[in-house]
Structure 1
Amino acid sequence: MEVRVRRTTLRLLTTFRSSRLAYDSTDTCIATIGHGGVAGQGEGTPAWAHGETLEEVIEAVAAEGAKVLGPDLSDPDEVLDRVAEWAAPVGARMALDGAVHDWLGRRAGQPTWRLFGLSRTLAQPTGYTIGIASVAETLEVVANAPDVGAFKMKVRSAEDIERLAAVRAVTSRPIRIDANEAWSFETARDLTPRLRDLDIQLIEQPFPTDAVDTYRRYRDLPDRLPVFLDEGCTDVASVHAARGLADGVVVKLAKSGGVRATRRVMEAARRLGLSVMLSCNCESELALSQAALLAPLADRIDIDSQFLLRDPPFRGLGLDQGRIVLGDAPGLGVVPGPEDPPIPDAGPGPAAES
């Protein structure tokens, strides 16, 4: 078993702003595994909100990846379970898990989504995230947005009401908002009537993750918005903790550590009657294709970072009436972009082996 890992930089079309940060590029890692003459690739991004660094992710994959995968992939379920339970950074588990799923499809000579029994076009329309900007800039983004099913708007304070009202005036599409833990109870209470007037569908993570009493107070209001936990939902235990605090959870491979681990989180949420939104960080189409394998377990889809990238390193996803269309290449369905190196041969090399 051969494992290689490298860093790749994703450059955005414009600077993206939330209540927490602003950036115009981000780095992820690409893990490549080789076994039996077949190569597979997966993408991993650090759990930034929990202090992970890309250096830690790359180091874990390079140092331990081959050992975790084992000598062969004859029992993929066992291998994926080992990866999911590996005591490593979330991004490292995500990258290896993705590489195994890519390898499975490439070995079979068909897209992995077909092995999962998925339709090529996802059933749920995807959302499209709009960062914090001026009213004029926001309206320009909306005017040039792809044909998506909903808008998710990042918000920070009461000043964002003007932006929301401006967008509502030009579209009937559902609007969701995401405060990224920026609000107090008073802010949420005071803004909720105006948000309801604007037909805002839901709010993601209005309060800090540890503000349990604040979530309970808001939930007790007679008229409130549905609340989805994002930063506060990373694993099965946190899903159980969300019951009684929120109406749904936002799941991401970059929080839970890959397809196998995230599936467990989604299944737990559904058992508890929580709605599930499948989302992403700023990732390439490789990682988004990994996430798309879980689409049947989601009530809502927010797979949209491919629309934000300049010169993406992988291509293959399409869009049809707001719904993601998966790539049809063997494996995860995507191919390297013109600026990215091709997938290497799976033969022996100088990388870590077991």
Structure 2
Amino acid sequence: MQIEIKKYILQLAHTFTISRESHDTQDTMIVGLSLNGKTGYGEATSNPYYNSTVESMTAEIEAVRDSIEAYDFDNPENFYKHLESLGLQNFTLCALDLAANDLYGKLQGKPLYEIWGTNTSYYPTTNYTIGIDTIEKMVEKLKEKPWPLYKIKLGTKDDVAIVRELRKHTDSIFRIDANCAWTAEETIKNAPFLKDLGVEFLEQPLKAENWEGMKKVKESCVLPVIADESCIVESDVEKCGPYFDGINIKLTKCGGLTPARRMIAKGKELGLKIMVGCMTESTVGISAIAQLLPQLDFVDMDGAMLLKGDIATGVTILNDGKVIFPKLPGSGIALL
């Protein structure tokens, strides 16, 4: 098996702001794994919040390149165990695991969702994200992209006012992501107003470790609450069970499709709603997420839609939210 690593700087269509950061570009690492004339692709973006850069991920892979290339690849699950034994960080694991799954599907000649025994007759619609900005610019972004479902990033002093103004311009469903910026009291206070404004659920309103605050929210909040920063890896799913109504799984954070599938199974066992979210990433990462769609209640896979230009072909999301799955097997990815 041969490894190829490429770094890309993705240009965003708009400055993207959440409660803790803003950026106009996104560094990302694409890994290619090749075997028997087929190449599978995986992606992991850099993320300062999690101390992950393309350079650090590349260095990790280069340090174990010989071990990976000498591995007798049979399936992604066994390969993942090998990768874990090498002590790689989750973002690096994700890129390699996504590439391994794409490669496996291409070697089998089938899309991953079919290999996993699911079909695409039903799948949730992705939301489209509106980052924090002035109210005027947030309205402008909303009008620029008519969509049936919006995720609104909040974490300002005027959060309810922002949603109230956005509601004047669309009848679409809203989801709110405060990215850990609220207190329990703010969450409980804001929720009734937001519910009246057509908000479906709140995502990670409190800091990740504020379990006491989440206990209060769970008892008193009139809207469902989905864990994000509180649910990073497999062991977090059970921890989140008593405090949240659902979990948002990020492939980069948990280490790829292989652990994500186990997290989905555990979450369903606990009666949690299951969402998979994305980073601001290319179609490489988004196409991997799309393979999980039949297993999900909610999805946030708009990362490539936020870019000025893409670096790959794969899954296509149409303007009505419909997903077109490629004829190419695996995750269906080809680099441009």
CA RMSD of the aligned region, Å? Answer: 2.1
User: What residue number does 1:352 align with?
Assistant: none
Worse overlay, 53-62 or 261-270: 53-62
Question: For 1:304, which of 299, 302, 305 is the aligned residue?
Answer: 302
Instruction: State the Cα deviation string for residues 85-104 of structure 1 (Å, max 9, x = none).
Output: 65211121111111112212
**CA 251–65 in structure 1, closer or farther in 2 if over 3 Å, else same:** farther
Change (3 A) 1:76 1:239: closer
1:188: how far off? Answer: 1.7
Paired residue type of 2:17: R
1:244 aligned partner, one-letter code: P
Maintained 8 Å contact 1:86/1:93: no
Q: Deviations over 1:190-232 (max 9, x none)?
A: 22221122121111111111111111112222x5221111011
Deviation at 1:118, TM superposition (A): 4.7
Distance change (3 Å), C-alpha of 1:60 and 1:31: same
Alignment correspondent of 1:49? 49
Q: What is the correspondence of 1:313-324 to structure 2 with a 5 Å cutoff?
A: 313-320=311-318, 321-324=320-323
Check if 1:218 corresponds to 2:217: yes
Alignment check: 8 A CA contact 2:94 2:256 kept = yes
TM-score, normalised with respect to structure 2: 0.92
Contact 2:250 2:277 (C-alpha < 8 Å) held by counterparts: yes
More moved, 166-175 vs 15-24: 166-175
Q: Identify the residue that residue 230 of structure 2 maps to in structure 1.
A: 232
Paired amino acid for 1:2: Q
Report the alpha carbon displacement of residue 146 of structure 1 after superposing the two structures with TM: 5.1
SS of corresponding position for 2:34: strand
Residue number in structure 2 paired with 1:38 = 38
Alpha-carbon offset, residue 76 of structure 1:
4.1
Question: Unpaired runs of 5+ in structure 1?
Answer: 338-354
The residue identity in structure 1 corresponding to 2:80 is L
Change in 2 beyond 3 A, CA 1:93/1:157: same
Asked if the contact 1:4–1:62 (Cα under 8 Å) also holds between the matched residues in 2, the reply is no
Cα distance in 2 for partners of 1:189, 1:151 equals 21
Q: Are the aligned partners of 1:35 and 1:72 in contact in 2 as well (CA < 8 Å)? A: no
| Closer/same/farther in 2, CA of residues 239 and 314 from structure 1, 3 Å limit | same
Alignment of 1:276 with 2:274, yes or no, is yes
Give yes or no for contact 2:247–2:272 (8 Å, CA) kept in 1.
yes
Contact 1:259 1:293 survives alignment (8 Å)? no
1:91 aligns with 2:87: no
After the TM superposition, which of the residue ranges 159-168 and 300-309 deviates more from structure 2?
159-168
Classify the secondary structure of the residue corresponding to 1:190.
Answer: helix
Counterpart-to-counterpart distance in 2, 1:230 and 1:250: 5
Q: How does 1:155-166 map to 2 (within 5 A)?
A: 155-166=154-165
Gaps of 5+ in 2: none
User: Offset of 1:261 from its aligned partner?
Assistant: 1.1
SS at structure 2 position matched to 1:125: coil
CA change 1:274–1:128 in 2 (3 A) is: same
Structure 1 residue 314, shift from structure 2 partner: 1.0
Does residue 18 (structure 1) correspond to residue 18 (structure 2)? The answer is yes
Cα pair distance change 1:186/1:157, threshold 3 Å = farther
Q: Secondary structure at the match of 1:310?
A: coil
Amino acid at match of 2:11: R
Structure 1 pair 317–121 and aligned structure 2 pair: CA distance change class (3 A) = farther
Hey, what does 1:131 align to over in structure 2?
131
**How far apart are the structure 2 equivalents of 1:46 and 1:292?**
21
Q: 1:153 to 1:214 in 2, by over 3 A?
A: same
The match for 2:166 is 167
- Other-structure match for 1:62: 62
TM-aligned CA distance change 1:144 to 1:117, over 3 Å: farther
> What is the letter of the counterpart of residue 60 of structure 2?
A
Structure 1 residue 53: deviation in Å? Answer: 2.7
Query: Partner amino acid for 2:227?
Result: L
Question: Does the C-alpha gap of structure 1 residues 279 and 65 become closer, same or farther in structure 2, counting only changes over 3 Å?
Answer: farther
Between the aligned partners of 2:284 and 2:109, the Cα distance in structure 1 is 17
The residue aligned with 1:105 is 105
Q: Quote the sequence identity (%).
A: 28
Select the residue among 248, 251, 263 that pairs with 2:249: 251
Which one has more relative contact order, counting CA pairs under 8 Å at least 6 apart? 1
Alignment match, 1:203: 202
Counterparts of 1:15 and 1:8, CA distance in 2: 18
Aligned to 2:261: 263
Of 58-67 and 171-180, more deviation after overlay is shown by: 58-67
User: What is the alpha-carbon distance in structure 2 between the residues aligned to residue 237 and residue 301 of structure 1?
Assistant: 21
One-letter identity of the residue aligned with 1:299: D
| Secondary structure of residue in 1 paired with 2:305 | helix
What's 1:350 paired with?
A: none
Q: Deviation string for 1:79-138 (max 9, x for gaps)?
A: 234335652111211111111122123324454444445545762111111101122211
After superposition, the C-alpha distances for 1:26-48 in whole angstroms (9 at most, x for unaligned) are: 11111112222322221122454
Contact 2:76 2:258 in 1 (8 A): no
Q: Which amino acid aligns with 1:39?
A: T
